[in-house]
Amino acid sequence: MIRSMTGFGRGEASSNGFQVTVEVKTLNSRYLDISSRMPQIIQQHEFSIKEIVQKKLSRGKVHLIINVENMEKTGVDVTYNEELVKAYGTILENIRSAANIQQPVQLQDIFQFDGIFKSKEEDKDEIEMIWNCTANAIDLALDNLNEMRNQEGEELKNDLANQIKGIADIVKEVEKLSENRVPEVREKLQTRINNLLSDDQIDPERLELEIALIADKMDINEEIIRLNSHLKFFLKAFSSDNPVGRRLNFLSQEINRELNTIGSKANDSTISQHIVLGKEKLEQIREQVQNVE
């Protein structure tokens, strides 16, 4: 299965007046890199969030934005410590009296002290309910993300298949050209020797040996067999149920290696031109493979 590593997904879940919205964005990465932005009320579940993501994604840079909203909220979540405020007020009055200061104690004087304000304690059942909504919203966002990544993956698959077919066609042409290389070399070598030596100075057996050595150096049959095998496995990977990005990247490297070897061994300008075209197609493949999960 071909799946793109880039995409976006959104999910929502609500319960008892609370609504949780999750947005997930993914980019290319060699590994699974998860980062998130969330309200403090669910920060204790950060590890659980990563576990949820790991079940549905294997590679990519993943960024989650989690927003929790109380749709029935009528008041504020902050209150003050009444006993502490009274104590600070009494202390300030005593100081004012001892220092014989005429000005009365004012509100901003008390604000100078820490610990006056505090958040209202969250209900444990409410926190658990919010987390359950968050987990459901993350699941939905990841499902929507993967739907988008699958659609892009299908486009990648079609493009990669066309490029691989193009390389396969080039390999067939190179194979045909290579079949005529030995007779051509024999003829050229014979002509060159005839121009340099008379017939009675030519050793037919030595000539055939030299031709055999040259032909062996130029033989690209093994490379063509391996290259066709790599192309076959590349296309076969498309039907795998598991992420194949790393496998396709490895096969791309092997295809590149065989193309380079064929180009250097063939020692033929026409074959070299075909190899250059094949490497151009391979470069496009390698760029696309970087986006495959």
Q: 34-54 pLDDT, tens per residue? A: 999 999 889 999 999 999 999
Is residue 196 classed exposed, middle or buried when 0-12, 13-18 and 19+ CB atoms within 10 A define those classes?
A: exposed
Instruction: Check if the beta carbon of residue 167 is closer than 8 Å to that of residue 283.
Output: no
Classify residue 55: in a domain, yes or no: yes
For 246-277, how does the pLDDT look when each residue is reduced to its tens digit (9 = 90+)?
A: 999 999 999 999 999 988 887 778 888 999 99
Report the C-alpha gap between 52 and 250 in whole angstroms: 29
Q: Note the pLDDT of residue 176.
A: 85
Q: Quick check: 81 and 110 in contact, CB under 8 A?
A: no
C-alpha dihedral over 245, 251, 256, 262, to 10 degrees?
-160
Tell whether the model's pLDDT for residue 30 goes beyond 60: yes
For the chain, what is the domain count? 3
Section 208-235 average pLDDT = 79
- CA–CA gap between residue 137 and residue 131 (Å, rounded): 10
* Predicted confidence (pLDDT) per residue in 184-213, tens digit: 666 666 666 666 555 555 566 666 666 556
Residue 3's pLDDT band (boundaries 50, 70, 90)?
A: very high
Q: Which domain, by its residues, includes 94?
A: 78-119
**Predicted pLDDT of residue 82:** 84
Rounded Cα distance, 67 and 136, in Å: 13
Question: Residue 280 pLDDT > 60, yes or no?
Answer: yes
100 in any annotated domain: yes
Q: Is residue 1 part of a domain?
A: no
Which backbone phi and psi does 224 adopt, to 5 degrees?
-65, -40
Instruction: Report the pLDDT value the prediction gives residue 132, as an integer from 0 to 100.
Output: 95
Q: Report the Cα 231 to chain-centroid distance in Å.
A: 22
Helices assigned H by DSSP within 66-123: 82-98, 107-111
Instruction: Specify the 3-state DSSP secondary structure of 254.
Output: helix
In a domain? residue 2: no
- Are residues 137 and 24 in contact, defined by beta-carbon separation less than 8 angstroms? no
142 and 169 housed in the same domain: no
Using DSSP's 3-state secondary structure scheme, residue 31 falls into coil
Rounded CA-CA distance 227/230 in Å is: 5
Predicted confidence band at 108 (pLDDT cuts at 50, 70, 90)?
confident
**Are 109 and 174 contained in the same domain?**
no
pTM of the model: 0.69
For residues 114 and 161, membership in a common domain is answered with no
Same-domain pairing of 52 and 109: no
Is 198 within the bounds of a domain? yes
Give CA–CA dist 93/89, Å, rounded.
6
Q: How far is CA 124 from the centre of its chain?
A: 38
**% of the chain surpassing 70 pLDDT:** 83
Can you give the pLDDT at residue 291? 92
Query: Residue 121 pLDDT more than 60?
Result: no
Is the confidence at residue 239, as pLDDT, over 70? Answer: yes
Within a domain: 241: yes
- Does residue 225 fall inside a structural domain? yes
pLDDT at 185: 63
CATH number of domain containing 60: 3.30.230
Structure tokens at 220: 């690209």
